[in-house]
Structure 1
Amino acid sequence: MTGSADPAAPGGGVPGGQRARVVVSVPPPLRAQFFTRDVWRRLGDAADLTVLDEHTDRAALAAALPGARALVTSWGTPRIDAELLDAADRLALVAHTGSAVAPLVTPEVFRRGVRVTQAGDAMAGPVAEVALAFTLSLLHRVHRFDHALRGGADWETASQAPPRHEIRGSRIGVLGASRTGRAYLRMVKALGARVSVTDPYLSPEEAARLDVRLVPLETLLRESRVVAVHAPATEETRRLIDARRLALLPDGAGLVNTARSWLVDEDALVAEVRTGRIDAAIDVFDAEPLPVDHPLRSLPNVLLTPHQAAGTVECRQRLGESAVTEVLRLLDDEPPLHAVGVDALVRVF
């Protein structure tokens, strides 16, 4: 469906004409968050818009694609396969408002020469900030004090916690020198942490440039006071942090996961934190929404947020602006800024 060009009352479009046409497969609530009035106006000034309110409707997408030059996607847009591409006779760009494109595109998209872009750079900063907030909370046991006071413990009991530490001088481990991992390590280094990194694709020379120690995963786990997970979700990283590796963490250590639950064996983590030996701060879960009776919800040494690390106003607006910028560059015959290749499909999500 098409409608108003006002992102606050989403719809969007400029009437007919001979201009390029762009399909926006983003539902109304996300359109209001992603596209400021100025950004939406820039897109509408440059192209005729077909806006899909029912963005998960495959038939509606198939009907909208003929003649379209670009497709702006969001989480839940139907996967672009050969059948949809057959309808997309003029499609030159899929501009995703998120990071991982594997749920949205197939190898056929690349075989047919359609460019694919993503907006992952926009998420790195806020997710790294949440990981930093988690790290500081675990070091200072803020979550334990809050849980005790809200749970009705008396003052003296609520004041009890394992030893607390400052980030300055603490060994912080980073699993994955991704965009977010690098943003996070810069933040913790600025606060005086001693940072080690595990990443099979990080060269010693790049580690030296980042001023971090490059170590094997087992060493990272054994030596770190807090380990922050920032690796991608691939077949190789599934349950990378399992029961055996969780047991390597020192007593009193903390695990931070703002990446994907895919990377950590959640059952093993529940078993480990139940002992009280380590703490954890988690934004991502195997089951989302997290069931109300899930054991993680009641543990005093666990800090939880509902997969909202990238949910800032500023980040959401950058996601929209990134996708629109890619569309405008296509229409101006300029190369994309954040293109990905078929190798991006190794990321599971």
Structure 2
Amino acid sequence: MTGSADRPGGPPRTVVALPAALRRELFAPGVWERLRAVADVTVVDAHSDRGALAAALPGARVLVTGWGTARIDGELLAAGDRLELVAHTGGAVSPYLGAELFARGVRVTQAGAAMARPVAEVALAFTLALLHRVHRFDHALRSGLDWETASVAPPRHEILDCPVGVIGASRTGRAYLALARALGARVSVYDPYLTAADAAELGVRQVSLDVLLAESRVVAVHAPALPETRHLLGRRELALLADGAALVNTARSWLVDEDALIAEVRTGRIDAALDVYDAEPLPLGHPLRSLPNVLLTPHQAAATVQGRLALGESTVAEIERFTAGRPLLHGVGAQALDRVESAEASAVEASAAEASAVEASTPHPHPRTEL
């Protein structure tokens, strides 16, 4: 741990509870210097160690959290006697913050908006791969099928004039639909909170969930994981998909009944591309791993170099606004705790941070300033 006590009248003492490897991914050198220019920074490398965090919090006005940071509950909040702002470098805050924080009036901001673009790009990549059956051809060739047999696949389609359905006009959903529309797709959206004016501005058609499922060649899921969206897509809903249709899920497995999806894709009737699962890490013997009509990635949709740096930029910009007395752009209230984030998802994010630490220990041709 490095840093000093908050100086009266000086910049606010700010605890950055992130390990070195993750700090390097999140904060470009210039962005880190911007933080140091407005804050008296204390670094806690052992960010999951409650004792280390408790020792750093007294006198701190700002706390920067990230994947794997110890949960800020009443006990740790008692140590943070002067805490005014928690700036989370990820999206969902529910795994890391307790209700006591909001009850005490501590402001909270998060950087989830910066994740929209990389996740949307992966969803678009999934969409194109499914339309052209790239995953089926890849699986066939890698599994040893002869050339002629491996060339057999269901009809392929272009995205131009393709009926694409988006479930959830979230930040990521809007980024995805903009990309799909730019390539000529005809986009429909199901979102009970989307107004007609917003739909018109986005250039999309508003439809019911059943209509969207029945009429879309590709359905992309971008809804939030809330109690009311649990298994939004179950057996009945998945059965509405047309033969040859495809499902893209880069949001949360919470939204889709995984057993029902497995049953549907096993028939070969539909295809799917997934970045999220009920069990993470995905078990080696899991049925999804062997299906030729399913494209899988290990919960990595947001983990681009640019995306991580955007998270850091967003976090520091919010702290600059806080120190200048300006309104936060990405502040959230206690309702953010309603988002459902599984322990498995949190574990995956933590293991990703650990993997980054291993990678960061390897020498690079252009070393960066230590943060």
Instruction: Give, as a single letter, the amino acid of the residue that structure 2 aligns with 1:297.
Output: R
**How many angstroms apart in 2 are the aligned matches of 1:191 and 1:327?**
37
Q: Deviation per CA, 1:261-319: give whole Å up to 9, x if none.
A: 11111111111111111000001111111111111111110111111111110010111
1:6 aligned residue = none
CA apart distance, 1:44: 2.1
2:125 aligned residue = 133
Q: Is 2:295 the counterpart of 1:303?
A: yes
**How many angstroms apart in 2 are the aligned matches of 1:267 and 1:85?**
40
Conserved 8 A contact 2:6-2:60:
no
Q: Paired residue for 1:288, among 272, 280, 283?
A: 280
Look up the SS of the partner of 1:276 in the other structure: coil
Q: Is 2:157 the counterpart of 1:153?
A: no
CA apart distance, 1:15: 9.1
CA apart distance, 1:93: 0.4
Q: Is 2:188 the counterpart of 1:196?
A: yes
CA apart distance, 1:325: 1.6
**How many angstroms apart in 1 are the aligned matches of 2:41 and 2:71?**
20
Q: Paired residue for 1:172, among 152, 164, 172?
A: 164
After superposition, the CA RMSD in angstroms is 1.4
Look up the SS of the partner of 2:295 in the other structure: strand
Q: Paired residue for 2:76, among 80, 84, 98?
A: 84
Conserved 8 A contact 1:97-1:119:
yes
Conserved 8 A contact 1:115-1:339:
yes
**How many angstroms apart in 1 are the aligned matches of 2:184 and 2:256?**
27
Look up the SS of the partner of 1:320 in the other structure: helix
Conserved 8 A contact 2:6-2:59:
no
Q: 1:15 to 1:37 in 2, by over 3 A?
A: farther
2:64 aligned residue = 72
1:246 aligned residue = 238
Bigger shift: residues 13-22 or 175-184: 13-22
Unpaired runs of 5+ in structure 1? Answer: 3-12
User: What are the equivalent positions in structure 2 for 1:112-127 lying under 5 Å apart?
Assistant: 112-127=104-119
2:364 aligned residue = none
Bigger shift: residues 323-332 or 170-179: 323-332
Conserved 8 A contact 2:214-2:240:
yes
Look up the SS of the partner of 2:280 in the other structure: coil
**How many angstroms apart in 2 are the aligned matches of 1:83 and 1:311?**
32
CA apart distance, 1:16: 7.9
Q: TM-score, normalised by structure 2?
A: 0.88
Look up the SS of the partner of 2:318 in the other structure: helix
**How many angstroms apart in 1 are the aligned matches of 2:138 and 2:338?**
40
1:49 aligned residue = 41
**How many angstroms apart in 1 are the aligned matches of 2:86 and 2:55?**
16
**How many angstroms apart in 2 are the aligned matches of 1:330 and 1:243?**
47
Q: Paired residue for 1:264, among 256, 263, 272?
A: 256
Unpaired runs of 5+ in structure 2? Answer: 342-371
1:226 aligned residue = 218
The structure 1 segments of at least 4 consecutive aligned residues displaced by more than 6 Å after TM superposition are none
1:337 aligned residue = 329
Percent identity reads 69
Look up the SS of the partner of 2:69 in the other structure: coil
Q: Paired residue for 2:21, among 17, 29, 45?
A: 29
2:315 aligned residue = 323
1:183 aligned residue = 175
Bigger shift: residues 45-54 or 231-240: 45-54
CA apart distance, 1:106: 2.2
**How many angstroms apart in 2 are the aligned matches of 1:28 and 1:284?**
27
CA apart distance, 1:149: 1.0
Q: How many residues are treated as equivalent by the alignment?
A: 339
Q: Deviation per CA, 1:167-212: give whole Å up to 9, x if none.
A: 1111100000000000111111111111111111111221122121
CA apart distance, 1:105: 1.7
Look up the SS of the partner of 1:285 in the other structure: coil
CA apart distance, 1:95: 0.2
CA apart distance, 1:327: 1.6
**How many angstroms apart in 2 are the aligned matches of 1:94 and 1:241?**
34
